[in-house]
Structure 1
Amino acid sequence: MYSTKSRNEHVEDKSPQSSPTPQILKDSREIKEIALSKTEERTPKKKKLQIPCPPQGTLNKVITDGIILILVWSVAWSFLGSEVLPGGNLFGLLVIFYCSLLGGKLLEIIKIPSVPQLPPLLGMLLGGFTIRNIPFISQHVKINSVWSSSLRNAALTVILIRAGLGLDPKVLKELKKVCVRLSIGPCLIEACSAAFFSHLIMKFPWQWAFLLGFTLGAVSPAVVVPSMLFLQEHGYGVKKGIPTLLVAASSIDDIVAITGFNACMGIVFSSGDLLTTLLNSLWEVILGVLLGVVLGMFLQYFPNRDQTKLEWKRSFLILGLCITAVLGSHRVGLHGAGGLCTLLLTFVAGLKWSKEKVRVQKIIAGTWNIFQPLLFGLVGAEVPVSSLRANAIGICVATVSLALLVRICATFFLMSFAGFSLKEKIFIALSWMPKATVQAVLGPLALETARISAPHLEEYSENVMTTAFLAILITAPNGALIIGLLGPKILTHSDPRLYKSSIDMRLAH
Structure 2
Amino acid sequence: MSNVYQDTNIELEGVCESTSLQNDSRIRQSSETEIETPKRCVGLHICCQKISKPLLTKSHPLPENPSICQRLKYSFLCPPHGNLAWYMQFLILVGITWTVLVSLTHSEALPGGNFFSLFVLFYGAIVGGYFISFFKLPPLLGMLIVGAALRNIPVVKIVGESISMPWSSALRQTALTVILIRAGLGLDPQALRKLSFTVLRLAFIPCLAECCAEAVAAHFLLGFPWEWGFMLGFVLAAVSPAVVVPSLLSLSDRGFGLDKGIPTLVIAAASVDDVLAITGFGVVLGIAFSKGDIALTIVKGPLEALLGVVYGIIVGVIMWYLPSKDTNNPALYRSLLLLGAGMLATFGSSVVHLSGAGPLGCLTLAFIAALRWRKEAEKEGDNGINDMVGLLWMIFQPLLFGLIGAAVDVNAIDGSTVGLAMGTLAIGLFIRLCASFGAVLFSGLSTKEMLFIPIAWLPKATVQAAIGGIALDEATKRGDANLMALGTSVLTIAVLSIVVTAPIGAALIAIFGPLWLEKRKEDEDCNDNEVDDAS
What's the TM-score bracket when you normalise by the shorter of the two chains? 0.7 to 0.9
Amino-acid identity (%): 44
How far 1:59 moved relative to its partner? 3.4
Q: Which residue of 2 aligns with 1:9?
A: none
- Give the whole-Å Cα distance in 1 for the aligned partners of 2:416 and 2:104: 47
Q: Is residue 2:372 matched to residue 1:372?
A: no
Cα separation, 1, equivalents of 2:140 and 2:499: 10
More deviation in 44-53 or 334-343?
A: 44-53
CA drift at 1:72:
1.1
Q: 2:490 matched to 1:464?
A: yes
User: Could you list the per-position Cα deviations for residues 315-346 of structure 1 after superposition, in whole angstroms to 9, with x for gaps in the alignment?
Assistant: 22211211221112112211122212112111
1:395 aligns with 2:420: yes
Aligned 1:287-298 pairs, distance under 5 A: 287-298=307-318
1:455 aligns with 2:455: no
For residue 129 of structure 2, the aligned residue among 104, 118, 140 is 104
- Candidates 269, 274, 295, aligned match of 1:254: 274
Query: What's the CA shift for 1:311?
Result: 2.3
Distance 1:128 1:272 in 2: 39
- Using the size of structure 2 for normalisation, the TM-score is 0.79
Deviation digits for residues 294-318 of structure 1, max 9, x if unmatched?
1111222323444432322222221
5+ residue gaps, structure 2, are 1-66, 524-535
Partner of residue 131 from structure 1, selected from 150, 161, 167: 150
Tell me if 1:490 matches 2:500.
no
Q: Deviations over 1:178-217 (max 9, x none)?
A: 2222212211111100011112222222122111111111
**Deviations for 1:232-275, whole angstroms, at most 9, x for unmatched residues?**
11221122222112212212211111121122222222221221
Say which structure, 1 or 2, has more relative contact order (CA 8 Å, 6+ apart).
1
Distance 2:79 2:519 in 1: 49
Structure 1: which amino acid aligns with 2:481?
P
| Alpha carbons 2:285, 2:356 under 8 Å: kept | no
Deviation at 1:78, TM superposition (A): 1.4
The secondary structure found in structure 2 opposite 1:245 is helix
Q: Secondary structure at the match of 2:372?
A: coil
Compute the RMSD of aligned alpha carbons: 2.2
Work out the CA distance in 2 between the residues paired with 1:266 and 1:55.
Answer: 54
Q: Give 1:357 deviation, angstroms.
A: 6.0
CA drift at 1:283: 2.6
Distance 1:57 1:412, change over 3 A: closer
Paired residues, number: 448
Compared CA separation, residues 358 and 479, structure 1 to 2 (3 A): farther
> Do the aligned residues in 2 keep the contact of 1:161 with 1:346 (CA within 8 Å)?
yes
2-structure distance, mates of 1:163, 1:106? 27
Which position in structure 2 is the counterpart of 1:309?
329
Distance change (3 Å), C-alpha of 1:92 and 1:73: same
Shift of 1:432: 0.7
Hey, what's the Cα distance between the residues in 2 that align with 1:375 and 1:59? 27
Of residues 134, 138, 141 in structure 2, which corresponds to 1:122? 141
Q: 2:433 aligns with which of 402, 405, 408?
A: 408
Q: 1:45 to 1:81 in 2, by over 3 A?
A: closer
Q: Does 1:476 pair with 2:496? A: no
CA distance in 2, matches of 1:151, 1:303: 27
Displacement after TM superposition at 1:121 (Å): 0.7
Aligned to 1:162, which of 170, 182, 207? 182
Quote the residue 2:6 is aligned against: none
TM-score with structure 1 setting the length? 0.83
The counterpart of 2:198, out of the listed 172, 178, 181, is 178
Separation in structure 1 between the aligned mates of residue 176 and residue 521 of structure 2, nearest angstrom = 36
Q: CA deviation at 1:89?
A: 1.7
Amino acid at match of 2:322: F
Which moved further from structure 2: 309-318 or 470-479? 309-318
Instruction: Label 1:427 to 1:46 Cα distance change in 2 as closer, same or farther (>3 A).
Output: closer
> Residue 428 in 1 paired to residue 447 in 2?
no
Over 3 Å counting, the alpha-carbon distance change for 1:236 and 1:49 in structure 2 is closer
**Equivalent of 1:81 in 106, 121, 141:** 106
In structure 1, the residue matched to 2:260 is 240
**Per-residue deviation at 1:448?**
2.5
Matches within 5 A, 1:28-107: 52=77, 57-107=82-132
Shift in Å, 1:367: 1.2
